[in-house]
A and B are shown apart, each in its own frame.
Chain A
Amino acid sequence: SQQGEEDPQALSIQEGENATMNCSYKTSINNLQWYRQNSGRGLVHLILIRSNEREKHSGRLRVTLDTSKKSSSLLITASRAADTASYFCATDDSGGGADGLTFGKGTHLIIQP
């Protein structure tokens, strides 16, 4: 079953603006990960944040995690046309990845040139 609920479901912004996507989940997690999917192809891992971390950065990406609210956000700064894709949060509930990942519904991001 799906754990994550993401909002917005779709987001369209101008190139150069920042994009923020949110994810909520229901159960305790070991870590939360964000993935990007271009045009229904394979997913690419973006960033992982552990349950004992609150914020993490990677290049233009910033992820926050609030375990008390069971929510996470992904911020993409200075967006580019190439950032157009679907973004999914995914939780590792069991630890060690042994039970696979539980994916959110995703946010479809469109960057207008």
Chain B
Amino acid sequence: SAVISQKPSRDICQRGTSLTIQCQVDSQVTMMFWYRQQPGQSLTLIATANQGSEATYESGFVIDKFPISRPNLTFSTLTVSNMSPEDSSIYLCSVVPDRVNTEAFFGQGTRLTVV
């Protein structure tokens, strides 16, 4: 299992600014993922952030908008850059510690509102 501390839990930001979200895991894990959940919607994968390699972005998401850092096996950040109201969502980090069971563990999410 894994326990993830994600912060901030929520924020209200002005358009045009950037917000960095942090995820700290209580154990070393290779595979970490960032998801976006738009209001009333399901989760969409933004990128895979494995330590030791560049993040891999899904279609529709680009590094300039969502830069990711993964400096070690227990920590990652996602930055939402040059924000607009359309970026208002819940952002969640997730890890998969066991490649056999592939159960995912999630942080509590960051509820972002852009005004």
Contacts and interface: CB of A to CB of B under 8 A. Distances in A.
A42 B92 contact: yes
Given A2-B42, A98-B31, A105-B41, A45 B104 contact: yes
A95 B102 CA distance: 8
Contacts of B70: none
Given A40-B109, A45-B103, A92-B102, A1 B59 contact: yes
Listed residue (A4, A30, A41, A92) with the most chain B CB atoms within 10 angstroms of its CB:
A41
A44 B103 CA distance: 10
A42 B104 contact: no
Contact of B43 (A44, A45, A96, A103): A103
Contacts of B101: 48
Given A99-B48, A100-B45, A105-B41, A31 B108 contact: no
Contacts of B96: 97
Interface residues of B, number: 29
Nearest to B1: A45
A96 B99 contact: yes
Interface of B: 4, 6, 31, 33, 35, 37, 41-45, 48, 59, 90, 92, 94, 96, 99-109, 111
Interface of A: 1-2, 4, 30-31, 33, 35, 40-45, 48, 88, 90, 92, 95-106
